[in-house]
């Protein structure tokens, strides 16, 4: 063979075309250079060169081998480096001689003798075939099965010559179940109750109780939040706090209600597009909005919107599809059949929403809003009743209003960059400010005026879905404050000769009463008082005062306008440049505190009319008035709602309504999706670079997955969401049941739970995975159903004891001849200390809390900028860790130390490290020490009559079991030795028992030394390996 190859080389060298033999010349090249990626194991590009039927078929880039026509054969093109595709083989080329051999073989007819190579088709990867319910294996004698899970597991064990472990003790089981299902250890009473329940079905009752606990949603919600990359801040340099906890609570509530998983996904990907979408469905779309936001000075908003879109695709891939689609953002997926084109076609479904922030209200706030609106309607109905001629009067007012506005000409304005804020000029010539938001800035829109007269300028502030709460400003409430409005002109021919114009009078359609700018929300290190109020503040030449657009909650996110009348008419003879200086001096103290009151979207116009004033009518009312004609009842009600404010005799009723507005709840906000009316164009991006779009693509799904169902209208994001959870999806159900399994056993049936694709680890129990996936879908996608099946199985209920032979035969316990034993997730580590000690505040949901953390973490030079951390005292200090505020750039250190993800990207499988820094946390962190003191106190107060009884009490509180004799003696000895030291004055009893600064009533009780000794013992108990382990 070698000689023949040599001959081939010689032939190529001499440039002689000569017949190449498949077996002698071609197959060896394929074997040595190609099979690695295109053979039995791997079949990149759906090509295997060891199979004649596949190799001679048509691939993604055309016919691979066309006999007698090498130039047209993609095989030859790729190895010769012709055409657009990457030259093959990747990472090394064939020699010229080898290329020539292939060429001549094809030119000679590509003769591939029968029987050469494998008689094989493409491997169909198991996870790309929809699951069907497999037959359950038969049990052999003596095997015990609770359900199908056990039959699959036992069959595999039997095949490997292994046996299941005996059941774990009841004490172990209740702690295991409680931790797995609720993330909290059982209380003493729970444990006792279960131990006492000897009737049949006790275990099932326990499972039911735990699955019905509201803490179930907290535990499994947190796991979903990892995949949803939940965090309470923006990430990147600024890492600004955001309000997204309504989404977190939505997840907890949905899981507690056992919302079907398909619905759970649909609401998160496209809840806003569901018919009749309510606040809850919109909140659910926070899932896609959990991406990071970069508002550092130089950031281009579109670039980082794209980064966020990539992150969303990654999250959908990992969390829902169980596939790593991310690779395909830059190039065709190397291992799975997802082409770059497929990627951007899927991308196109989700590439069409505004990054929006919506006001949201708690149930109580919503009730209050309902009451307020009802009362307003009642007052208005009363007015109509009292004045039966209101319709005529309103019509008369309308006629007067219809024509009283001067004509305005909108200025074509542009803004020079400088502060880092980015400006987009929209089709209506308004300017949208995005990206970095300087806290102090002067924005200078410029335009040109043509000959004529100008007597006044108008500044319109407009809403936009991309602004916080819809704008019109950029504060976290969507409000703005204009410190000063100035205008200058210069001849277009002499653009350096700027001359300021004097403004005589300003009017606006909102003129809030004077108030002091909240120095807490908008801190000013100068300690100067800044004030907000009517539009006169925008022309008073005083940098401390500003016109505010904020009349209070409920009406702050509306279009606003101000008109500035010139002292002297501006007579323009030559084209003239005009420049506005819009000063915004009412943000925080510098760029790092992330607080601004900048204008968000605005538009400038001018008029020649005399005495121009800001139209007091809101835009939508003005539109109704000037349009006239037929109106809907809603339009009439809106018109009436405005008109009544102009009726002098109704001052009393108007006042009452104003008072109601004063009661309007502040609410919270939530990042949501807001579908754009005009679809965005999606193109394939070369190397994922947003500046290098290539071919435009239409939305579509990859061919190797299930098809998009036929529908009448063009498929949109909602269709895509429904496709993700379609019953025909090969990976969706498998991915989620695999992760439920992972939560209970530490490792999934497929260990690579983020990737079920070709590179995935082999499933340990493939039939079981399919069985569970089908079971999920056939039971209304009920996750609780799957949990119940898993935890009811004998497999789950085994002891986790490791024997030497098991460790030898199955070190990673993939076969489940024993239950799993692993350190619990970071949140649970802390929650266990809180719950076992009795400190836990079990309140569900609400705004994030700030457990104690070292202040320096949130200040430079550790944090880029200063961050707020309002350390909680009292009950809020002891909320579950789920509720701890999550800054991405400086994560709460207790959780960070225990491998809790930061939310920078989707995570479906946590790391589980075991480090000295973790020991320092559980030994020394303040809340852990407070837990030790509380456990000590309770033990002394409630734990029994003598030391052994008390030790048993404390031990059971933490571990749900009684200590063994030697464990008890060890603890008695520790208690004794510390008592001795305390008595001898070797330890500061008061500090140990009460902390750094004990209060007098604490120390006056007289049992300080005993409390101190029990604190020491409790601290050891809380630090046991078993305490933070799911046994």
CA torsion sign for 933, 939, 940, 946 is negative
Q: How far is the CB of 204 from other proteins (least distance, A)?
A: 26
Interface segment toward other proteins; rule CB under 8 A; list 296-304, 459-467, 573-581, 785-793: 296-304
Which C-beta is closer to other proteins: that of 413 or that of 657?
A: 413
Beta-strand relationship, 414-415 and 445-449: antiparallel
Is 573 an interacting residue with respect to other proteins (CB under 8 A)? no
Instruction: Find the binder of other proteins among 111, 490, 609, 761 (CB under 8 A).
Output: 761
Answer yes or no whether residue 948 interacts with other proteins by CB under 8 A.
no
Q: What is the rounded distance in angstroms from the CA atom of residue 980 to the CA atom of residue 619?
A: 80
H, E, C per residue of 675-705:
ECCCCCCEEEEHHHCCCCEEEEECCCCCCCC
Contact call for residue 1020 and other proteins (CB under 8 A): yes
889 scored as a contact of other proteins (CB under 8 A):
yes
Backbone phi and psi for residue 441, each to the nearest 5 degrees, phi listed first: -160, 160
**Of 149 and 1022, CB closest to other proteins:** 1022
Cβ proximity to other proteins, 128 vs 261, nearer residue: 128
Residues in the chain: 1031
Q: How near is the Cβ of 301 to other proteins at its closest, in Å?
A: 12
Q: What is the DSSP string of 252-278?
A: HHHHHTT--HHHHHHHHHHGGGSTT--
Nearest Cα to Cα of residue 957 among 439, 185, 194, 406: 185
- Residue 992, interface with other proteins (CB under 8 A)? yes
Burial class from Cβ neighbours inside 10 Å (0-12, 13-18, 19+) for residue 317 reads: buried
Instruction: Give the footprint of other proteins on residues 996-1015 (CB under 8 A).
Output: 996, 1012, 1015
Note whether 596 binds other proteins by CB under 8 A: no
Which tokens in the block code for residue 294? 């970069």
How many residues at the interface with other proteins, by CB under 8 A?
A: 115
Which range in 130-138, 384-392, 418-426, 447-455 contacts other proteins by CB under 8 A? 418-426
Helix (H, G, I), strand (E, B) or coil at 335: coil
Nearer to other proteins among residue 210 and residue 935 (C-beta): 935
Options 45, 271, 891, 943; binder of other proteins; rule CB under 8 A: 891
Distance of CA 290 to the CA centre of its chain: 2
Beta carbon nearer to other proteins, 22 or 436: 436
Q: Are 706 and 694 in contact (CB under 8 A)?
A: no
1025 binding other proteins? (CB under 8 A) = yes
Across the beta sheet with 481-482, what order do the strands follow? 481-482, 545-548, 531-533, 515-516
> Is 376 near other proteins (CB under 8 A)?
no
Q: Which of residues 131-150 bind other proteins (CB under 8 A)?
A: none
Contact with other proteins (CB under 8 A) among 57, 213, 300, 635: 300
Pick the piece of the chain touching other proteins (CB under 8 A) from 295-303, 348-356, 462-470, 670-678.
295-303
Q: Does 324 bind other proteins (CB under 8 A)?
A: yes
Compare residues 176 and 282 and give the one whose CB is closer to other proteins.
176
Which residue among 298, 382, 452, 569 contacts other proteins (CB under 8 A)?
A: 298
Binding of other proteins by 709 (CB under 8 A):
no
Work out which of 698, 803, 871, 983 binds other proteins, going by CB under 8 A.
803
Please give the residues from 327 up to 356 whose contact with other proteins meets the rule CB under 8 A: 327, 334-336
Q: Which is nearer to other proteins, 97 or 760 (CB)?
A: 760
Helices (H) and strands (E) in the chain, counts: 37, 25
Is residue 423 a contact residue for other proteins (CB under 8 A)?
A: no
Distance of closest approach, residue 554 Cβ to other proteins, in angstroms: 37
x/- letters, 234..273, toward other proteins (CB under 8 A): -xxx-x----------------------------------
Q: Residue 583 interacts with other proteins (CB under 8 A)?
A: no
Task: Kindly indicate which of the ranges 105-113, 340-348, 485-493, 968-976 contains the residues binding other proteins, using the contact rule CB under 8 A.
Answer: 968-976
User: Rounded to an integer, what distance in angstroms lies between the CA atom of residue 577 and that of residue 570?
Assistant: 12
608 or 959, CB closer to other proteins?
959
Q: Considering the complex, state which of residue 609 and residue 761 has its C-beta at the smaller distance from other proteins.
A: 761
42 belongs to the binding site for other proteins (CB under 8 A): no
Pair 900, 911: CB distance under 8 Å: no
The secondary structure of 545-558 as a DSSP string is EEEE---STTSSSS
Residue 68, class by beta-carbon neighbours within 10 Å (0-12 exposed, 13-18 middle, 19+ buried)? Answer: exposed
Tell me the β-bridge partners of 418. none
| Mutual angle of helices 1008-1022 and 926-942, in 10-degree steps | 120
C-alpha distance across the termini of the chain, in Å: 61
Structure tokens at 963: 């200590």
Residues 179-238 that bind other proteins (CB under 8 A): 235-237
CA dist 65 and 54 (Å) reads 10
1023 binds other proteins (CB under 8 A): yes
Q: Does the footprint of other proteins cover residue 417 (CB under 8 A)?
A: yes
Span near other proteins by CB under 8 A; candidates 202-210, 355-363, 719-727, 882-890 = 882-890
Q: Which of 189, 385, 808, 1000 binds other proteins (CB under 8 A)?
A: 808
Minimum gap (Å) between residue 311 Cβ and other proteins: 9
Q: How far is the CB of 975 from other proteins (least distance, A)?
A: 10
Cα–Cα dist 26/112, whole Å:
9
Please count the other Cβ atoms lying within 10 Å of the Cβ belonging to residue 123. Answer: 14
**Options 18-26, 730-738, 781-789, 966-974: segment touching other proteins (CB under 8 A):** 966-974
C-beta atoms surrounding 213 within 10 Å: 17
Least CB distance from residue 191 to other proteins, whole Å? Answer: 19
Question: CA nearest 735: which of 125, 43, 44, 131?
Answer: 131
Neighbours of 278 (CB within 10 A): 9
Confirm or reject binding of residue 802 to other proteins (CB under 8 A): yes
Residues 303-322 that bind other proteins (CB under 8 A): 307
SS3 percent helix, strand, coil of the chain, rounded to 5, is 45, 15, 45
Tokens coding 245: 């906890």
* Position 60 contacts other proteins (CB under 8 A): no
SS3 of 638, please? helix
Q: 498 near 597, Cβ under 8 Å?
A: no
CB atoms within 10 A of CB 270: 27
CA distance 694 to 685: 6
Peptide bond before 549: cis, by omega within 30 degrees of 0?
A: no
Cβ-based nearer residue to other proteins, 87 or 334: 334
SS (H, E, C) 42-87: CEHHHCCCCEHHHHCCEECCEECCCCCCHHHCHHHHHHHCCCCCCC
Report the C-alpha gap between 338 and 656 in whole angstroms: 62
Q: Which stretch binds other proteins (CB under 8 A): 26-34, 621-629, 814-822, 941-949?
A: 814-822
Least distance between other proteins and beta carbon 1024 (Å): 6
User: Which of 804, 874, 985, 1001 forms a contact with other proteins (CB under 8 A)?
Assistant: 804
Identity of the residue, 35 or 822, whose beta carbon is nearer to other proteins in the bound complex = 822
By beta-carbon proximity to other proteins, the closer residue of 432 and 993 is: 993
Residues 905-944 close enough to bind other proteins by CB under 8 A: 905, 911, 913-921, 923-926, 929
Q: Which stretch binds other proteins (CB under 8 A): 69-77, 392-400, 465-473, 988-996?
A: 988-996
The whole-angstrom separation of Cα 281 and Cα 275 is 10
Span of 80-88, 142-150, 367-375, 894-902 interacting with other proteins by CB under 8 A: 894-902
- Residues from 816 through 875 that contact other proteins (CB under 8 A): 821-823, 854, 856, 860-865
């Amino acid at each position: 063979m070698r000689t023949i190859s040599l001959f081939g080389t010689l032939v190529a060298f001499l440039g002689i075309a000569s017949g190449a033999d498949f077996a002698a010349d071609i197959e060896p090249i394929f074997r040595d250079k190609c099979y690695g990626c295109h053979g039995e194991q791997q079949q990149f590009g759906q090509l295997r060169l060891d199979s004649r039927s596949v190799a001679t078929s048509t691939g993604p880039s055309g016919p691979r081998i066309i006999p007698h026509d090498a130039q047209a054969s993609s095989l030859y093109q790729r190895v010769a480096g012709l055409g657009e595709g990457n030259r093959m083989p990747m990472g090394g080329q064939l020699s010229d001689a080898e290329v020539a051999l292939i060429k001549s073989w094809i030119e000679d007819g590509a003769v591939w003798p029968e029987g050469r190579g494998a008689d094989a088709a493409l491997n169909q990867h198991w996870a790309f075939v929809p699951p069907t319910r497999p037959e359950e294996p038969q049990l052999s004698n003596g095997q015990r099965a609770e359900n199908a899970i056990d039959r699959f597991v036992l069959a595999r064990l039997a095949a490997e010559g292994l046996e299941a472990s005996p059941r774990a003790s009841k004490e172990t089981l209740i702690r295991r179940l409680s931790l797995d299902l609720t993330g909290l250890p059982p209380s003493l009473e729970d444990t006792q109750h279960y131990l006492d329940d000897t009737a049949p079905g006790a275990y099932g009752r326990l499972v039911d109780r735990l699955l019905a606990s509201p803490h179930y949603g907290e535990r499994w919600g947190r796991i979903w939040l990892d995949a949803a990359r939940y965090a309470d801040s923006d990430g990147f340099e600024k890492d600004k706090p955001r309000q997204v906890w309504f989404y977190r609570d939505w997840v907890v509530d949905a899981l507690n209600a056992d919302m079907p998983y398909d619905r759970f996904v649909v609401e998160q990907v496209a809840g806003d597009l569901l018919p009749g979408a309510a606040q809850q469905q919109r909140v659910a779309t926070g899932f896609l909005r959990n991406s990071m936001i970069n508002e550092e000075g130089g950031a281009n908003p579109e670039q980082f919107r794209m980064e966020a879109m990539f992150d969303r695709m990654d999250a959908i891939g990992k969390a829902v599809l169980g596939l790593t689609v991310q690779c395909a953002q830059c190039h065709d997926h190397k291992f799975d059949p997802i082409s770059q084109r497929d990627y951007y076609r899927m991308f196109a479904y989700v590439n069409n929403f505004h990054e929006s922030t919506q006001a949201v209200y708690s149930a109580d706030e919503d009730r209050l809003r309902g009451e307020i609106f009802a009362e307003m309607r009642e007052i208005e109905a009363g007015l109509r009743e009292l004045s039966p001629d209101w319709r005529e009067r309103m019509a008369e007012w309308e006629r007067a209003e219809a024509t009283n506005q001067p004509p305005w000409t909108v200025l074509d304005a542009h803004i020079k960059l400088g502060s880092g804020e980015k400006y987009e000029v929209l089709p209506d010539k308004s300017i949208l400010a995005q990206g970095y938001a300087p806290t102090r800035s002067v924005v200078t829109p410029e335009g040109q005026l043509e000959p004529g007269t100008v007597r006044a300028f108008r500044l319109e502030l407009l809403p936009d879905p991309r602004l916080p709460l819809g704008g019109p400003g950029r504060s976290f409430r969507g409000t703005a404050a204009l410190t000063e409005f100035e205008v200058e002109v210069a001849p277009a021919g002499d653009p350096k000769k700027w001359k300021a114009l004097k403004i005589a009078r300003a009017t606006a359609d909102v003129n809030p009463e004077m108030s002091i700018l909240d120095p807490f929300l908008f801190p000013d290190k100068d300690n100067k008082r800044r004030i907000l109020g009517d539009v006169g503040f925008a022309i008073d030449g005083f940098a401390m005062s500003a016109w505010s657009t904020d009349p209070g909650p409920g009406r702050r996110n509306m279009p606003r306008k101000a008109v500035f009348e010139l002292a002297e008419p501006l007579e323009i003879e030559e084209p003239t440049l005009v420049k506005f200086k819009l000063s915004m001096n009412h943000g925080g103290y510098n760029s790092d505190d992330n607080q601004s009151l900048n204008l968000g979207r605005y538009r400038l116009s001018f008029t020649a009319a005399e005495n121009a004033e800001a139209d007091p009518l809101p835009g939508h009312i003005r539109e109704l008035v000037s349009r006239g004609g037929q109106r809907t009842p809603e339009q009439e009600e809106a018109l009436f709602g405005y008109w009544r404010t102009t009726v002098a005799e109704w001052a009393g009723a108007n006042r009452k309504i104003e008072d109601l507005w004063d009661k309007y709840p502040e609410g919270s906000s939530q990042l949501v999706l807001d579908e754009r009316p005009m679809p965005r164009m999606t193109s394939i991006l070369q190397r994922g670079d947003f500046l290098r779009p290539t071919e435009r693509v239409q939305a579509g799904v990859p061919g190797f997955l299930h098809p998009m169902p036929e529908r009448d209208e063009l498929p949109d994001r909602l269709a895509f969401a429904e496709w993700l959870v379609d019953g025909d999806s090969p990976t969706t159900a498998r991915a989620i049941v695999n992760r439920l399994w992972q939560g209970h056993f530490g490792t999934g049936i497929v260990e690579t739970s983020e990737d079920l694709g070709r590179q995935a680890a082999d499933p340990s129990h493939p039939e079981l995975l399919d069985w569970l996936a089908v079971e999920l879908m056939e039971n209304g996608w009920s996750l609780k159903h799957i949990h119940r099946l898993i935890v009811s199985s004998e497999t789950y209920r085994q002891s986790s004891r490791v024997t030497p032979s098991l460790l030898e035969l199955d070190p990673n316990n993939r076969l489940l001849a024993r239950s799993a034993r692993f350190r619990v997730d970071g949140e649970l580590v802390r929650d266990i200390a809180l719950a076992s000690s009795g400190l836990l505040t079990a309140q569900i949901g609400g705004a994030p809390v700030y457990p104690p953390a070292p202040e320096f973490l949130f200040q430079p030079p550790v944090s880029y900028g200063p961050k707020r951390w309002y350390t909680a005292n009292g009950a809020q200090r002891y909320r579950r860790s789920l509720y701890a505020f999550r800054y991405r750039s400086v994560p709460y250190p207790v959780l960070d130390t225990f491998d809790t993800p930061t939310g920078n990207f989707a995570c479906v499988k946590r790391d589980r490290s075991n480090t000295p820094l973790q020991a320092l946390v559980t030994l020394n962190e303040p809340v852990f020490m407070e837990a030790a003191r509380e456990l000590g106190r309770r033990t002394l107060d409630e734990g029994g009559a003598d030391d052994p009884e008390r030790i048993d009490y404390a031990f059971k509180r933490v571990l749900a079991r009684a200590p063994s004799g030697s464990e008890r003696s060890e603890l008695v000895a520790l208690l004794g030795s510390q008592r001795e030291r305390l008595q001898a004055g070797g330890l500061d009893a008061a500090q140990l028992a009460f902390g750094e600064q004990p209060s007098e009533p604490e120390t006056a009780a007289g049992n300080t030394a005993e409390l101190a000794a029990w604190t020491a013992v409790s601290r050891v108990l809380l630090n046991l390996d078993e305490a933070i382990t799911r046994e």
